[in-house]
Amino acid sequence: MGARGVVSRLALAVSVALLGTACGQSEDSGAAQDSAISVYGTEPENPLVPGNTTETGGGQVVDALFTGLVEYDPRTAEPTNAVAESIETTDSRVYTITLEDGWTFHDGTRVTAQSFADAWNYTAYSPNAQQSASFFAQIQGFSDVNTQDPDGSDGPQEAPQPAATEMSGLRVVDDLTLEVTLAEPFAVFPTQLGYSAFSPLPEAFFADQEAFEANPVGNGAFRFVSRQPNANIELTRYEGYAGVKPKVTDVEFRIYETVEAAYSDVVAGNLDFLEIIPSSALAGNLYQADLPGRSLSQTYLGIQTVTFPLYDPRFANPDLRKAISMAIDRDAVNQQIFNGLKPPADGYVAPNVPGRAEDQCGELCRFRPEQAKALFDSTGFAGPIELTSNADAGNTEWMQAACTSIGNALGRECRFVPVPTFGEFRTAINAGEMSAIYRSGWVADYPSIENFLNPLYRTGGSSNDGGYSNPAVDATLAQADAATSEEQANQLYQEAERLVLQDVPAIPVYFQSVQAGWSQRLRNVTVTPFRQLDLDTVEVA
């Protein structure tokens, strides 16, 4: 490390000096008026429509193009009003949302209550086939606009035509007032409103969707300029923005084929921001030497777990699941595989999430080999323990390490059997055909303890792939949803979390963390809990 560190630092000094002399002039002259920055991106997997974008490549562009009723604090993730002036409710069921006057779309048209109602109805309407439709499931009348395919997407039957095109729970009172009635009380609804699926859409979208996809029109701090597939997406500051105007004038999301190439560009000063450090630079924390004072590592709203396929009767005994949880040496995994960058999980909810409580998991998430062995032996589990994961996203090392730890502690062979691609992996999970304990990750859509529980552990939850079901948990979650205050709701969610943890349908392993690096030009860099550069506050030196 010593010699290499010196060499790389020397090399860096030389290259910085060379770069400085080479492009010093052009940068000095343009710095004041023109502060364009470039940010690492991946090719969006869908057209840039908020209700149909769920992955990060398109997500960070959509987030820059659109501003919702609510936005999240870039440091604490606490929701604050953006387009909304106030969101009021007395029973957590009927919400009266008043919009701030003066917000406009990039084509100059006003943002009204109708812009939100139209957008939400469009996304929820099942024939429009939007990925984020289920986010509106709480709104009254959702089942009238969104019908399920009776035999799933593989079956021959088709979903019936929905009875209505608009949800009855959405009422536009006037230009600036929207009344939302939910089917059941849901205290976290105001927090949810900051998720991109709840963005407004301009009339231009409904007039000509193809033209919109080619040239998206939002109401966010940046407007769309151009896009070259597989190369870049360029945005520029929207001068008519009603919120706090960003300091930088232009943003280019530059698409890279490999993270390694992007990293080289950041080190050389060709790319301004990168939120993934390749494993070659994470080894021995080399990136901290390559980018002195220009990198950070922090947790975000993600957790890594391993889930039991509970539809397989072999995993039905909770003692078995507890034994395996206590057999994983999370600290060793963190230190040896991740250089201490990914803290061991002590519950199902990631750090910094509003409503989170510390150490919910307690003893069950600590390394207790003797206890684990005794518990395991009492279950009479036959055969080797098998763990599986997709092998295309850098999960094999820690899964292998966890497996070794389990095998050593329990005195039973543990096999790690990876599946080549994420697509194959998800196909088997979706079909309910897993026969091994499998890796499962979760990154929150919106910052609330609720988002870590309802979708994952409620009976029939949208991501409850393991088939976990506990009536007591369902009842507590329903009670929490119906709470009238956030504090009361959070307490009930915490109680539900403890209940789930006693059943261990999934083992919390570690909290996800982001390692970001940036060029010498950037000042005041904040990485949001959503793993994005905060474009509103970043500055160019």
Partner 1 sequence: MGRYVLRRLLQLLPVFVGTTFLIYLLVWAIPGDPFAGKCGDRLCPDSYVNAMREKFNLDDSLLVQYGKYLANLVQGDFGETFSGIEVSELIANAYPVTLKLALVALVIEGVIGLVAGVLTGLRSGGFLDNLVLVSTLFLISIPVFVTGFVLQITLGLWWGIIDPTVSAEATIPELIVPGFVLASLSMAYVTRLTRTSISENRRADYIRTAVAKGLAPRRVVGVHLLRNSAIPVVTFLGADLGALMGGAVVTEGIFNIRGIGGLVFGAIQTKEGATVTGVVTLLVIVYLLMNLLVDVLYAVLDPRIRYD
List the one residue out of 132, 127, 158 whose CA is nearest residue 144.
127
- Closest separation between CB of residue 420 and partner 1, Å? 8
Nearer to partner 1, 375 or 507 (CB): 507
What letter does residue 188 receive in the DSSP assignment? T
Q: Which H, E and C letters describe 223-247, residue by residue?
A: EEEEEECCCEEEEEECCCCCCCCCC
List the one residue out of 244, 232, 195, 240 whose CA is nearest residue 51.
195
- Closest separation between CB of residue 492 and partner 1, Å? 24
Nearer to partner 1, 282 or 483 (CB): 282
Residues 440, 427: Cα–Cα separation, whole Å: 13
- Closest separation between CB of residue 157 and partner 1, Å? 10
For the beta carbon of residue 153, count every other beta carbon within 10 angstroms: 7
Residues 241, 235: Cα–Cα separation, whole Å: 14
- Closest separation between CB of residue 307 and partner 1, Å? 10
Instruction: Report helix angle 486-503 to 471-481, nearest 10.
Output: 170
- Closest separation between CB of residue 364 and partner 1, Å? 22
Nearer to partner 1, 147 or 400 (CB): 147
Nearer to partner 1, 245 or 426 (CB): 426
Nearer to partner 1, 152 or 292 (CB): 152
- Closest separation between CB of residue 425 and partner 1, Å? 7
- Closest separation between CB of residue 268 and partner 1, Å? 5
Nearer to partner 1, 331 or 392 (CB): 392
Residue type for position 498: R
Mark out the alpha helices in 148-258 (DSSP H runs): 189-192, 203-207, 209-214
For the beta carbon of residue 24, count every other beta carbon within 10 angstroms: 10
Residues 59, 41: Cα–Cα separation, whole Å: 10
Q: In this structure, are residues 221 and 536 in contact, taking their beta carbons and an 8 Å threshold?
A: yes
List the one residue out of 337, 340, 331 whose CA is nearest residue 299.
340
Interface residues toward partner 1, by CB under 8 A: 11-12, 14-15, 18-19, 22, 43-47, 52, 54-55, 58, 126-131, 133-134, 146-149, 152-153, 158-159, 213, 228-232, 256-258, 260-262, 264-265, 267-268, 270, 392, 421-427, 430, 440-443, 455, 462-463, 465
Instruction: Give whole-number Cα distances, 79 to 47, 74, 188, 529, in Å.
Output: 27, 10, 11, 12
Helix (H, G, I), strand (E, B) or coil at 385: strand
Nearer to partner 1, 155 or 313 (CB): 155
Nearer to partner 1, 47 or 318 (CB): 47
- Closest separation between CB of residue 385 and partner 1, Å? 23
For the beta carbon of residue 30, count every other beta carbon within 10 angstroms: 12
How far does Cα 467 stand from its chain's mean position? 22
β partners of residue 170:
180
Nearer to partner 1, 465 or 474 (CB): 465
Two tokens at 385? 């323990």
Name the one residue in this structure whose structure tokens are 């078995």. Answer: 320
What letter does residue 154 receive in the DSSP assignment? T
- Closest separation between CB of residue 403 and partner 1, Å? 21
Nearer to partner 1, 94 or 159 (CB): 159
β partners of residue 344:
510
- Closest separation between CB of residue 478 and partner 1, Å? 21
Nearer to partner 1, 18 or 163 (CB): 18
- Closest separation between CB of residue 153 and partner 1, Å? 4
Nearer to partner 1, 55 or 208 (CB): 55
- Closest separation between CB of residue 162 and partner 1, Å? 10
For the beta carbon of residue 219, count every other beta carbon within 10 angstroms: 29
How far does Cα 436 stand from its chain's mean position? 26
Nearer to partner 1, 218 or 302 (CB): 302
Q: In this structure, are residues 511 and 298 in contact, taking their beta carbons and an 8 Å threshold?
A: no
- Closest separation between CB of residue 465 and partner 1, Å? 8
Could you list the beta-strand ranges (E) of 23-169: 36-41, 70-72, 79-81, 84-89, 94-99
List the one residue out of 351, 352, 334 whose CA is nearest residue 343.
334
- Closest separation between CB of residue 218 and partner 1, Å? 18
Residues with Cβ within 8 Å of residue 307, at least 6 apart in sequence: 437, 438, 439, 440, 465, 466, 505, 506, 507
